[in-house]
Amino acid sequence: MATRSQTAAVLLAGALALAACGSGGSKTPAAGGAAGKTLVIDTSFDLKTGDPGRTYEPTGLIIGKAAYETLLTFDGADVTKPVPALAESYELSQDGKTLTLKLKQGAVFADGSPVTADDVVFSLTRVRDMKGTPSFLLDGVEVAKDGDSTIKLTSKAANPALPFILPNPALGIINSKVAQQHGATTDAKDKAEQYLNSASLGSGPYAIESFNVSSQVVLKANPKYYGTKPAYDKVVIRNVEAATQKLNVQRGDSQVALNLSGDQVTGMPNTLQVKKTASANVIFLLANQDSAISKTTTNAKFVEAVRKGVDYAGLLELAGEGSTQAPGVIPSQLLGALPADQAAKRDVEGAKAALAASGLSNPSVKLEYPSELTVNGLSFQPLAERIQANLKEVGITVELAPAPVATALDNYRNGKEEMGLWYWGPDYPDPSDYLAFLPGKTVGLRAGWKPGAAKEIEAAGDKAAVTIGDDARKTVYRDVQTKLNAGGPFVPLIQPSQNIVTAATVTGLEYHPVWTVDVADLGVK
Amino acid sequence: MKTTGTRARHPLARFLIRRILIALLLAWGITLVTFVLTNMVPGDPVAANLGQRALGDPAIVAQWKAEHGLDKPLPEQYLLHLQGILQGDLGTSQQSHRPVGDDLAAFVPATLELAGAAILISLVLGVAFGVVAALRRDRLPDHLLRVLSLIGISVPTFWLALLAFYVFFYRLQLTPGSGRIDPGMTAPGPITGLHTLDAALTGQWDVFASAVGHLITPALVLALYTIGLLTRFTRSAVLEVLGQDYVRAARAKGLPGRTVLFRYVLRSALVPIITVAGLAFGSLLSGTVLVEAIFAWPGVGQYAYKSATSLDLPAVMGVGLVVGVVYLIINLIVDVLYGIIDPRVRLQ
C-alpha cells in the first residue's frame, strides 16, 4: 500500500513539475527580441466578423485596419485631417457633392495582384448595398471610376464628411476578383463573409493567419506589402478579461493591454508604459421630451436643474486620470468640439432655483442605464449612483433602473426612457455624426425629441450639414452645441480615459478614436 | 409467460432502452425549455447585434431579421429549429455568422479537455481523500480533509480562479498565463481538438508541455468544489459500509486490509459516490463559464456568455442543447453503472 501511495505521489509531483517547467516558465513571446517578433495584445473582444464590409466593432476595426487599406486614412491620432492611403490625393468639389480621388500606383493585395479602380468600386458598392451594419456610411453615395486611376464619389447633397468617413476600416478595399469567386456580391445576397473570416483579401501590412470571434485572432506580416514593413512578424490578439489583462502585461505574458480601468492602471510598475488619453466616447444624460413618457423631464427648467446639479468634477474623479469633462456632445478630438472653458459647472444654488422655477415639487424620475456595460473600463453603475446623490442635494429624487444592456437598449432605442445614461462613440470622426442628437434624428428621437420641437437648433443643424471648409464648419458646429446645451434634452458629462498599458519595449502607440490601435505603427525598442 | 421470460433474459438491454427513450424525451424537453426561455428574455436581439446607426435603417433591420429567421411567428421558428436539429443543423450564430454546430465543434473540445481533466482530478483525489478520512476517522488527517472539503464546497469558483491565477501565475510564476498554449506556439493539428492529446499524438512535446501547464491550474480550480463534495460523500459512504456485518466477517476471515477495502468496502460505497459524481459534473460544467473567462480559455463557457449577453438565440439554444445532452449522457452512464454495480436496480 505504501509503495503504491508513494508511486502515486511521485507521479503527481512529476505532472506538476512538468507543468511548471514546461510552461510555467514560458517566457514573453519575444516582444523585444529578434526571435519571431511576436506581439501579444490582450483585449476584451467585441468582434463579430473578419469581413471588412460588415465590421463595426472595436476589435474588428483593429483587425480591419491591419489587414485592409482604405482610400484615405489619418496620420497617427490626428483625426482632424484625412491623409492619403490607397488614394494619393483627393479633392472635394466646391458644392461638396463630388469627391475625386486619384489612386496610388504600385499598391498590391496580399496575393501580389494590383489594386485597381474596379476593386475600389466593387468594395465600396458592396458595403453600401449588402446592407450590413456599416452600410449607412455610404448611404446615398454613388461610386464610379473615371479612367483606371480615378474614383468619383457623388452625393445628392453636400457631403463634406465623406473624407472623414473613408478612413473607416469597414471601407477597406478587397480583392474583388477573388472575393467574387467566394460569393461576394454587391447586394444582400453576398456570401463571402465566411471566406473573409479565414482569408485576407486586402493590401494592408498584415494578413489574417487564424480567426476566432470568441478567443483569438492571429495576424502575420503580409510578405507582399508594398509599404514600410511592420516591426512584428506576428500579432496575437487575445480575448482576455480586464483583470487578467493586467496580470498578463505585468508578468510579461502580453505586451499590450487595451481595456484597463483608471483604478487598474494606478500603481503600475515603471517597467511598463501607461498611456491615458481621453477617449472619443461621450457619456451623457438624456431627459425625455415626450410628455406621454414624462411630465417632469419635458420641463426645460428641470433639465436646467439637472445640468447645474451634476458634480462633473466628482464624475471625473470616478473615471480616473486622463478623463475629461465633455463640454458638448462632440468629443474634444474632433473638429467643432466646444472649448473646455464652455463646459457646464456645478451650481447647486442655481440648480435649486431652476427647480423652483420649474414649478415641480419634489420631482422623482427614473434613470435607466446598462448595468453591466463598461466604457473604457468605466462602469455605468457608480456613475449613476453619483448622479443620484448629486441630484438629491438639489431636491430631485432619482430612482435607479439598471438593466442588462440588451434589455436597456430596447427602451433607449424606442424612446421610452424617462431619463437615460448612455454614451455615443463616433461612427466616423466628423462632427456631422453628432447631428444625430437633433430633433427627429437617431438620438434625438431616443430622447422623445420629435422633428419641429426646436426649430432654431434644427435650422443650425441643417446649416452645419452643408457648410464647407474647416473653419466655417468649426464655427457652425460649435453654434449647434451651444444651442443644444442651452435648450436641448442632453447633458454631456465626461469622456472617460482610454488606458493602454504596454511593455517598455513597445514603441509608437497612439490611441485612435476609430480603430483604437494601429498595430502596424507599433515598433520595438 | 414467454414474453416475461425473454424480458427477464435481457434485463440490462431492457433497462438501457428504457433509459435511452427517457433521455430522448428529456432532450426534446430541453429544446422546448431553451427556446421558450431565450425568447422570454426581455430585450431585442436586433438592438443587441446591430450598431446604433444601422438600427435606424429599416432596410438593414428587416434584412437582419430575415437572415436570422426572426421575421417568422414564434411557433414556426420553434418548428424550424426542431427540424434543423433533426437534420443536424443548429442554426446560424448571430454573432459569429457561422453555423452554431461549427462554433460548438470549435469550442466543445476545449471545455471537454478542461472539464475532463477536472473530473479526473476530482475522482482520483476526492475518492482517495474520502477513503483516507474514513479510515482515519476523527484523527488529524480526517480533520484536515474535512477543512479542505469545506473550503472546496464553500469558496466561490470565480474568486478561487482569480486567486489561483494571481498567486501561481503572477506571484510565484509557476504556471503559464491565459489561453490553452503559449501565444507564440501554433496549436497542434486538430485530431481530437484536445491540445494535450493532439500534441502528444503528433510528437510536439514542447506544445504538449505548454498545454499541460496551461491546463493544470484551471482544472484544479474547477475540480476543488467536486473534490470537496466527493471527499464528504465518500467518507460517509465508506464509514457506513465499514460498519456492515459482511465487512466485519471479511476481516474476521483474515483477508488483507487492501482486499477488504477494494473488494468489499469501495464496491459497495461506489453507488452513492457515482451519484454524486454525476451530479457534480453538471455543476462543473456551469463552473466553466467563470473559470474560462478568467483564464481566457476558449471553451463553451465563454461562447455561452458572449451569446447570452448579445442575445444570440441560436447559439444560446445550441449551447443549452449540447450541455443538456452531455448531462443526459453522464446521467445515462451513471444509470448504467448502477445497473452493473447493483443488479437489483435493473430489475426494478
Q: Residue A522 has what pLDDT? A: 95
How many CB pairs below 8 A link A and B? 192
CATH topology of domain B104-342: MetI-like fold (1.10.3720)
3-state secondary structure B92-160: ECCCCCCEHHHHHHHHHHHHHHHHHHHHHHHHHHHHHHHHHHHHCCCCHHHHHHHHHHHHHHHCCHHHH
| A303-317, B167-181, B315-329: range with highest mean pLDDT | A303-317
For residue range B115-170, list pLDDT tens digits in order.
Answer: 999 999 999 999 999 999 999 999 999 999 999 999 988 998 889 999 999 999 99
What one-character-per-residue DSSP string does A493-525 give?
EEE-EEEEEEETTEE----BTTTB--GGG-EE-
Q: Is A243 within 8 Å of B306 when comparing Cβ atoms?
A: no
Instruction: Considering only the C-alpha atoms of chain B, give the largest distance between any 2 of them, rounded to a whole number of Å.
Output: 85
Q: Where in chain B is the domain with CATH 1.10.3720.10?
A: 104-342
Do A462 and A299 touch, CB atoms closer than 8 A? no
| Residue among A20, A197, A247 whose CB faces B170 most closely | A247
For residue range A283-329, list pLDDT tens digits in order.
Answer: 999 999 999 999 999 999 999 999 999 999 999 999 988 999 999 99
Task: State the cell numbers at A519.
Answer: 498595430
- Residue B221: which of B274, B170, B151 has the closest Cα? B151
Order the strands of the A38-43 sheet from edge to edge.
Answer: A206-211, A216-221, A234-239, A38-43, A256-260, A497-503, A272-278
What is the set of domains in chain A, with CATH numbers?
6-276+499-524 (3.40.190.10), 282-495 (3.10.105.10)
Q: How far apart are the first and last CA of chain B?
A: 18
Task: State the cell numbers at B113.
Answer: 479537455
Q: Which residues, numbered 176 to 195 in chain A, qualify as contacts with chain B under a Cβ-Cβ cut-off of 8 Å?
A: 188, 193-194
Residue written as grid cell 508604459: A273
Chain A residues touching B206 at Cβ < 8 A: 22
Helices and strands counted in chain B (H then E): 17, 0
For B271-287, give one letter per residue: b (16+ CB within 10 A) or e. Answer: ebbbbbbbbbbeebbeb
Read off the pLDDT band of A33 (50, 70, 90).
very low
A75 Cβ contact list (under 8 Å, min separation 6): A81, A83
Distance from CA of A175 to the nearest CA of B (A): 21
Read off the pLDDT band of A34 (50, 70, 90).
very low
Backbone φ and ψ of B245, nearest 5°:
-60, -40
pLDDT at A20 over 60: no
Tell me which H or E stretch contains A218. Answer: strand A216-221
- Cα separation, A522 vs A233, in Å, equals 12
- Cα separation, A194 vs B92, in Å, equals 12
Helix (H, G, I), strand (E, B) or coil at B309: helix
Q: How far apart are the first and last CA of chain A?
A: 59
Residue type, B261: L
- Cα separation, A384 vs A515, in Å, equals 28
Q: Higher pLDDT residue, A34 or B231? A: B231
Q: Which residues, numbered 263 to 292 in chain A, qualify as contacts with chain B under a Cβ-Cβ cut-off of 8 Å?
A: none
Distance from CA of B215 to the nearest CA of A (A): 9
- Provide the mean pLDDT of chain A: 90
Q: Which stretches of A262-388 are assigned E, i.e. beta strand? A: 272-278, 282-287, 324-325, 364-370, 374-375, 378-379
| Residue B191 CA: distances (Å) to CA of B101, B201, B202 | 17, 9, 9
Q: Residue B95 has what pLDDT? A: 77
If you average pLDDT over residues B320-327, what whole number do you get? 87
Chain A residues touching B59 at Cβ < 8 A: 131
Distance from CA of B67 to the nearest CA of A (A): 10
CB atoms within 10 A of CB A341: 7
- Residue B94: which of A59, A54, A58, A174 has the closest Cα? A54
Q: Which stretches of A354-418 are assigned E, i.e. beta strand? A: 364-370, 374-375, 378-379, 397-403
**pTM for the structure as a whole:** 0.82
Task: State the cell numbers at A426.
Answer: 463616433
